[in-house]
Amino acid sequence: MSEFLDSGPFKSAALSAGFTTAGICAVEPPAGLEFYKQWIADGNHAGMEYLPNSVELRSDPRRLLESAHTVIALTLNYRQPAAEAADFRVAQYARGRDYHKVIRSKMNRLIARWEQEFAGAEFRGCIDSAPIFEREYAHLAGLGWFGKNTCLIDSKRGSFFFIALILTSLDIQRDQPALGGCGTCRACIEACPTGAIQFGNGRWFINSNRCVSYLTIEHRGEISPELAAGVGDWSFGCDVCQDVCPFNHPGPRQPDRGQVTTEPDFAAREYPSLVQLATMSREDWDSTFAGSAIRRAGFDGLVRNVKLNLKNRSEAS
């Protein structure tokens, strides 16, 4: 008799909780750790100091949950309906309620149910902010492969999804890593407005110093004049390298690519115009962006972005 629990009921529970896909892999030290250390040593993390500070914790998921044997990897589609001509241009992932909150509460419900079912078993949910290689474990769990834009791509559905991981002490039947690849395509590399998708140490990677997503969300202070034009009309985040990816567009045999999210909390909010946002008060900021992932940019960061968008717009006309 197998010592592993059947993965079927775990996956069906996750899909019933609203996740888009679910897969299982073993807890093992990440194969990408050495690449990551070099990526940091080369300065590609830019000002995200939490990344070098978490190298040790990232070296083994058992540092997050000592008893962990298995990773239950989950995805949640955030694809939005075809973009209206938005004045305030926000990456698709951040147009509705903050995904950390939405996914955390879904994970907590699943964990509470499994804790009851498997007395004594331990669980820990990770969504984005935990020091763990989310893309790598989701790949091992069969949920997608690494595109040249570094996003995890599900051949059937594309890449507009979040990844969440639940570590557990249970032994659950494992899936096979996902197979797939970009072939000769280079669309994202050619379309990236700032040349942030680079190659080195045998892999494609993002140089965060140049990435519009980094510059508009994580970077504090001015955006260098060399990169300012590349920010274009992006006010928060950037979707260019995913928008141009063929895996994000439906085809006759891939109807699920480009399918819009069914998560009600991700429905896009209404926002004021760029001109109104450029002169908003801190009170306006608090009320307009309550519960939104856009808060990550901070008041000063968002006003900086919006003013740059207006400058770029006036220079283009």
The residues binding ligand B12 (CB under 6 A) are 30-32, 35-36, 39, 48, 91, 93, 127-128, 132-136, 146, 149-152, 159, 161-163, 203, 205-206, 208, 211, 213-214, 217-218, 237-239, 241
CA angle 55, 56, 62 (to 5 degrees): 120
CB 27 within 8 A of CB 69: yes
DSSP code of residue 219: -
**Of 167 and 245, CB closest to ligand SF4:** 245
Min separation Cβ 247 and ligand B12, Å: 11
- Size of residue set near ligand SF4 by CB under 6 A: 24
Angle between helices 8-16 and 99-117 (to 10 degrees): 140
Q: Is 128 a catalytic residue?
A: yes
Give the nearer residue to ligand SF4 in terms of CB position, either 168 or 216.
Answer: 216
Interatomic CA distance for residues 119 and 169, integer angstroms: 11
For residue 46, state whether it binds ligand SF4 (rule: CB under 6 A): no
Among 47-55, 65-73, 105-113, 210-218, which window interacts with ligand SF4 (CB under 6 A)?
210-218
Which residue in 237, 219, 211 sits closest to 294, CA to CA?
237
62 binds, among ligand B12, ligand SF4, none (CB under 5 to 8 A by kind): none
Q: Binds 30, which of ligand B12, ligand SF4, none (CB < 5 to 8 A, cut-off by type)?
A: ligand B12
Q: Which does 162 bind (CB under 5 to 8 A by kind): ligand B12, ligand SF4, none?
A: ligand B12
Looking at 60, 87, 128, 233, which residue is catalytic? 128
Listed in sequence order, the DSSP H helices in the chain are: 8-16, 33-41, 50-53, 55-58, 99-117, 134-140, 187-191, 212-217, 225-231, 240-243, 274-278, 282-288, 298-316
Could you tell me which of 200, 202, 147, 206 has the C-alpha nearest to residue 178?
147
Rounded to the nearest whole angstrom, what is the least distance from the CB of residue 30 to ligand SF4 in the complex? 21
Contact yes or no for 115/58 (Cβ under 8 A): no
Q: Residue 317 Cβ, how far from ligand B12 at the closest point, in Å?
A: 26
Angle at 93 between CA 307 and CA 251, to 5 degrees: 120
Shortest distance (Å) from residue 138 CB to ligand B12: 8
> What type of residue is 107?
M
Residues near ligand SF4, by CB under 6 A: 147-149, 182, 185-188, 192-194, 196-197, 206, 211-213, 238, 240-241, 244-247
So which residues are the catalytic ones?
A: 128
